[in-house]
Each structure stands twice: as C-alpha cells, then as structure tokens.
C-alpha cells in the first residue's frame, strides 16, 4: 500500500476515520452499560454507513455504494468482562506452535511470531511484521468449554490493546485469516475496569480486518495461539 505524501489530503481523511471510530466506540461503551444489544445495533449501523460513504473505507470505491454489512444474530451469552491473566513462559512445544506459519487467503503463509515471551512480530497479510508485546490472556467461558485468547499491546507509536482471533467459521462464513475483537490504538475499545484488571470481550463486536475487503491493506493477523477450534457465530460475517 502506497504511503500518502505530506500534502496528501488522505492524511486528514484518515485522521477523521480514526476520530469517528473512537467516537463510535465511546458511544458503544455508554450504551452498553444500559443495553448491550442496542449498543451493538448502533455499532453495526454506523460502521456500515462509514464503510459505504467515507473516503478511507477499506471497501474498494466501486463497491461502496452497494456495500451491505452482514452479521450473525446478536447473542447476549457471548458478552464477557474478563480478568487479564498475566503472561507466562510457554513450553518448548508452545513456542514451536507460535512460530508456525499462518495461512493468508490468496497468498503465501504469513510470518509467524518471531520472539516468544516478550516483543513479538505478529503475522501480517502483506508487508513487514508489526511489533507487539503479549501482555496476558483472557479466558472465554464459551458454551462448549473455556478457550483462551492472548492479549497483545502494540509496541509502536501510541500503543494499544489488540486481540485478533481465528475460529472455525474462517474461510466459509468469515474472513479466512480471522477477525479482530479489540484494536484500541485505532479506537476499537469495548471498555473494562483497570482497578479490577478486566477487559470487556463481547464477541458480537468481532469484525473483519481491512484486508478482508481489499488486499492492498496490510493487516496483522491472528497467530496460531489465537486460533480457536470452535465456531464463533457472532459479530461480522462475509457469507
């Protein structure tokens, strides 16, 4: 993806996109305190309008006017406020799994995590790996049994929480390389309580990365440790 020049108005458009995203999630957090399902409705409608009408939409320009977002039905049982479990040193088997390649639709395997137990480079759809720190885990009490997801902190510029994940819907109902749950550096933050050490993980807000709509975008992807062996039929879908 070509970087904009210093005089390119797309910089201001991108700043506005991020501002609108942050404002949307602030409204989501406010509404969710009273009615999480209504918060999800607002999130869906606003995101679809942004994807159809904003110049920084990840949807290709010629497809924006006809774009319609698709979602699984809202499921209140898939909203959690979870404690952040501190990270621990992985076993040698886990370390090998973390370094395994990650499949990327329409291209070669993405790059796996390069360093374990500290700064890490998550796999990407294209381009150079992105630097993150794994800061801990959340345990999802799913109906079929507990599953855990690693929680990352963006090591570059502003920092931020990041939770990418894959599941058994990938490649059929959702993007083949997975979805995002949180990306607070970009404003996608569902809240939590720092005093109690918790993070809100509402799977109804899972969304496709930009590269799901156009391969020109470079997206960090879910590493093997965040690929779930169950289907998460919540949040955005493709089919």
Q: pLDDT per residue over 144-167, tens digit each?
A: 899 999 999 988 777 899 999 999
Structural domains counted in the chain: 1
Indicate whether 143 belongs to any domain: yes
Q: Are 191 and 200 in contact (CB under 8 A)?
A: yes
| pLDDT at residue number 126 | 85
Residues 172-193 as b or e (16 or more Cβ within 10 Å = b): ebbbbbbbbbbbbbbbbbbbbe
Task: For residues 13-36, give the mean pLDDT.
Answer: 97
Q: Are 148 and 86 in contact (CB under 8 A)?
A: no
Of the two residues 133 and 8, the one the predictor is more confident about is: 133
Domain that holds residue 106: 72-237
**pLDDT of 173 strictly over 50:** yes
Indicate whether 114 belongs to any domain: yes
Structure tokens that stand for 2 in this block:
């070509």
Indicate whether 168 belongs to any domain: yes
- Which among 212, 157, 198, 206 is positioned nearest to 182, based on CA atoms? 206
Indicate whether 92 belongs to any domain: yes
| Count of C-beta atoms within a 10 Å radius of residue 7 | 6
- Return d(Cα 55, Cα 46) in angstroms, integer: 15
Indicate whether 149 belongs to any domain: yes
Please tell me the pTM assigned to this model: 0.84
Indicate whether 57 belongs to any domain: no
| pLDDT at residue number 92 | 37
Indicate whether 63 belongs to any domain: no
């Amino acid at each position: 993806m070509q970087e904009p020049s210093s005089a390119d108005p797309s910089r201001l458009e991108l700043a506005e996109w991020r501002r609108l995203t942050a404002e949307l999630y602030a409204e989501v957090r406010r509404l969710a305190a009273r009615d999480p399902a209504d918060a999800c409705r607002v999130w869906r409608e606003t995101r679809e309008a942004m994807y159809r009408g904003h110049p920084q939409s990840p949807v290709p320009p010629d497809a924006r006017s006809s774009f319609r977002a698709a979602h699984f039905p809202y499921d209140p049982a898939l909203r959690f406020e979870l404690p952040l479990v501190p990270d621990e040193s992985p076993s040698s088997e886990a370390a090998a799994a973390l370094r395994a390649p990650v499949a990327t639709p329409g291209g070669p395997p993405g790059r796996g995590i390069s360093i374990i137990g500290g700064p890490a480079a998550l796999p990407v759809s294209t381009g150079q790996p992105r630097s993150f720190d794994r800061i801990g885990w959340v345990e999802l009490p799913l109906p079929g049994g507990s599953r855990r997801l690693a929680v990352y902190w963006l090591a570059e510029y502003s920092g931020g929480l990041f939770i990418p994940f894959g599941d058994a819907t990938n490649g059929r109902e959702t993007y083949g390389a997975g979805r995002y749950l949180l990306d607070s550096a970009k404003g996608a933050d569902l809240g939590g309580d720092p005093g109690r050490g918790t993070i809100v993980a509402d799977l109804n807000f899972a969304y496709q990365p930009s590269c799901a709509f156009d391969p020109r975008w470079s997206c960090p992807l879910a590493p093997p440790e965040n690929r779930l062996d169950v289907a998460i039929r919540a949040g955005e879908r493709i089919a």
